[in-house]
Amino acid sequence: MKGMSLKETLESELKVLERELRIELPQEIKKAVALGDLRENAEYHSALERQRFLQSRIGQLKVKLSEISLMRIDQVPKDRVGLGSRFRVLDVDDDKEIEYEIVMEGMGNPGEGLISISSPLARGFVNKRPGDEVTINVPSGKKTYEILELWTLHDRERAPDA
């Protein structure tokens, strides 16, 4: 979803899930009920489990969207790492470049470089600038990073492809 803001990404996911919950899932449940005995009907139980998941995820998305609407963007730093920042670092120990983005709590996915604002890794980078060297305690010990490049939330709003 490159080029989409976090709000647009969440709204898009919410729309897809609400459609599934309101339109597609009731049709699946209706078909499963038509099959007969519900006690041993795997399709029916699977549909109910999916319904519970969708309701939970929709609730989470609505909370995140309300948090975004309450965020004070003007309080996010313009020249230092903060929420919404994407930045490239050099892992000094492994001589490897890595790109991270700091996201809201619950939206992290380290495998994709998305680190939650409350994670120890993100907390180590917050308020740092390009050129700063940061040592962070990670599960495997201490890691040292040098911040090479930074795109703040403000930079990314001006350049949608960033």
To the question of pTM greater than 0.75 for the whole model, the response is no
For residues 51 and 109, state if they share a domain: no
For residues 87 and 127, state if they share a domain: yes
- 50-86: per-residue pLDDT in tens? 999 999 999 888 887 777 666 666 666 678 898 888 9
State which of 70, 98, 123 marks the end of a domain: 70
CATH of the domain at 150: 3.10.50.30
For residue 1, tell me if it sits in a domain.
no
Domain count, the chain: 2
DSSP string, 27-94: HHHHHHHHTS-STT-HHHHHHHHHHHHHHHHHHHHHHHHHHHHH--GGGS-SSS--TT-EEEEEETTT
Which residue segment(s) compose the domain that 28 sits in? 6-70
- 101-130: per-residue pLDDT in tens? 988 877 788 888 899 888 889 999 999 999
CATH of the domain at 48: 1.10.287.180
Helix (H) or strand (E) holding 1: none
